[in-house]
Structure 1
Amino acid sequence: MNPFIIITFLPHLESNQKFKLASAEFKNEIIFINPFELNQKFIDSYPDSKYFIRIGDYRYKEVISHLKKFPITYINPLNQFVIFRSKALTFQFFWKHHFPTPSTLLVSENNSKVLTEIQKALPFPMVGKLSESSKGNGVFLVSNNEELKYFLETHMQTHQVLLQEFIVKSAGKDVRVFITENELLSIERQNATDFRSNLNQGGKAIATSLNPKELELCIKLFKLTGLKYAGIDFLRTDHGPLFLEVNVSPGFKGIDDVYGKDMARRILEIKGSR
């Protein structure tokens, strides 16, 4: 049997170990490999295997550049990692395809004129985000002019940054939709002590059903991404969903815990070809 190949820096993560357990059902070996150890000799040894990329923010641009050297069709295309690992590119994707989002500014300069324009466009508090961050890291609540200056001065030299409308009604809450070509499951993530809802920031997950508009937009968005599986995040408002993120390598602990599903097995079942 052809082994499943998981490209990751952290094979001992709980989600990666779930892949190892799930692979036994298929009677397939699972091989974890550091992205930078992948080479043509290795690929030639496993020409018919499925390759899954499970990486976070760490050195992801270098990882993608390295993986592009090889003639592999990965489960979830490399080019989509480039788009959806960047919040700035993700929002440009949303806008191009007319998906509703919170009011968002991509900030490229830091001067008095820019500060004035930001304050005209967005009221305090607003949300500051680093474009290449995940799991709630690199997300800040900016409550006044001094905090805005500090956020820009601290982060703009090393990161692309976004400023976003703070949706008061959705503070500490969002919806995560785990979706494949054959299945869709949704949870609401809630955090009573932090405006960020991420489970990594102390949030909890409960089952939730999507209304017809949410369902329609999530399926449409998933089809447009070209992905085989994804995590789609949005905020619920009185005017409908506002989209935040498409995760190309989503964790699935919340989904597994709430629904008692084995999402690792479902991901391994996804069809792919070299």
Structure 2
Amino acid sequence: MNSPHLSCWIIVNGYLQHTKFSDLALFIKEAAVRKGLSADIIRNSSLMPMIEDGRPVLRGSFTRLPDLVVFMDKDIALAKHLEMMGLPVFNKSSVIETCDSKAKTHQALAACGIPMPKTIFPPFTYEGVGRTDLHLFTKIGQTLGYPLVVKEAYGSFGQQVYLIHSEQELQERVMELAHKPFILQEFIDTSFGKDIRINVVGDQAAAAMKRTSANDFRANMTAGGKAEPYTPTQEEEELAIRSAQILGADFAGVDLLFGKNGPLLCEVNSNSHLLHLYECTGINVADKMFDYIVKEFRR
């Protein structure tokens, strides 16, 4: 599906200088060009969103605005600003905001019958105001049982996820996290060191891989996990697609756990690392993303 008259911006974070991020941006740009789009990689640090005379405007070194935006960052304010200016943004700012928070993701899916681990949301506290009363966490430990999992609401690549084995360890972790938002979940022992990543585009499962780790309860590749191509079951595929659609995602990397009675939703990533998936499966999901994006734009 070629679209020679369309231009797009691929928004990335200007402060993340690691090659894995720049390689991903180039990978996505190459897919856009293959589909006939004029594509530019734009750093969020080069743009100045502002309100002037009561309306949203954008300042920067660009000469013209694009027809559409592929947003590969978590700068939610910028994504929202571009939408306010009338630009089609993939994924929308609301999707990025929900997926960026594990707490918001689980709550958004909670009323929709999506199977997921038992999840508890601890009470909010303010920065500088410690959690001095830990009695509730004793009850949480009793409710979930040990080991249990503590996940910071904001984190990527399996980082900020902790396996907790005792009440003392839980209290120490809670005190260490201080005011940071987090969730607590039951530990799914049938999924120790293994999970499934299914990349969804529109209403299709575009590619999938199984990740495993021999020495870590997390299967993320950045935590030492290894990946292999995977053919999901119909139940797994339907769960991944439905979860992404409920959240309104145009595309997403959906992580599933191996539950005792079937797959469980782990998390939904609005921007997943497509290079790992391509290296594992040989499937270029970025190509499928632009087929979908152009179709939606034309609609």
Same fold, TM-score > 0.5, yes or no: yes
Structure 2, unmatched stretches of 5+, are: 50-57, 125-130
The answer to whether the 8 Å contact 1:64/1:82 transfers is: no
Q: Relative to structure 2, which stretch is displaced further, 259-268 or 144-153?
A: 259-268
Q: Judging changes above 3 Å, is the alpha-carbon distance between structure 1 residues 63 and 134 closer, same or farther for their aligned structure 2 residues?
A: farther
Structure 1, unmatched stretches of 5+, are: none
Among candidates 87, 101, 122, match of residue 72 of structure 1: 87
RMSD in angstroms over aligned alpha carbons? 2.3
Q: CA deviation at 1:216?
A: 2.5
Structure 1 match to 2:54: none
Structure 2 match to 1:162: 183
Distance 1:245 1:201 in 2: 16
Structure 2 match to 1:240: 262
- Percent of aligned pairs with the same residue? 26
Q: When you count strand as a share of all residues, which structure comes out higher?
A: 2
Q: Relative to structure 2, which stretch is displaced further, 18-27 or 75-84?
A: 18-27
Structure 2 match to 1:7: 11
Structure 2 match to 1:51: 69
Structure 1 match to 2:121: 106
* Deviation by residue 1:213-272 (Cα, 9 ceiling, x = unmatched): 222322322322222111111101220111111111111223212221222222223224
Among candidates 236, 239, 256, match of residue 278 of structure 2: 256
> Structure 1-normalised TM-score?
0.88
Q: Judging changes above 3 Å, is the alpha-carbon distance between structure 1 residues 182 and 93 closer, same or farther for their aligned structure 2 residues?
A: closer
Among candidates 205, 210, 218, match of residue 240 of structure 2: 218
Structure 2 match to 1:180: 201
Q: Which amino acid aligns with 1:194?
A: D
Q: CA deviation at 1:41?
A: 5.2
Q: CA deviation at 1:69?
A: 4.8
Q: Which residues in structure 2 correspond to 1:14-163 (within 5 Å)?
A: 14-38=23-47, 39=49, 40=58, 45-48=64-67, 50-56=68-74, 60-64=75-79, 67=82, 69-108=84-123, 110=131, 111-157=133-179, 159-163=180-184
Aligned pairs, number: 269
Distance 1:116 1:28 in 2: 56
Distance 1:209 1:27 in 2: 31
> Structure 2-normalised TM-score?
0.81
The answer to whether the 8 Å contact 1:36/1:63 transfers is: no
Distance 2:156 2:105 in 1: 13
SS of the residue corresponding to residue 99 of structure 1 reads coil
Q: CA deviation at 1:68?
A: 5.4
SS of the residue corresponding to residue 100 of structure 1 reads coil
Tell me, yes or no, if structure 1 residue 203 matches structure 2 residue 235.
Answer: no
Distance 1:153 1:95 in 2: 28
* Deviation by residue 1:109-129 (Cα, 9 ceiling, x = unmatched): 642321221122111111111
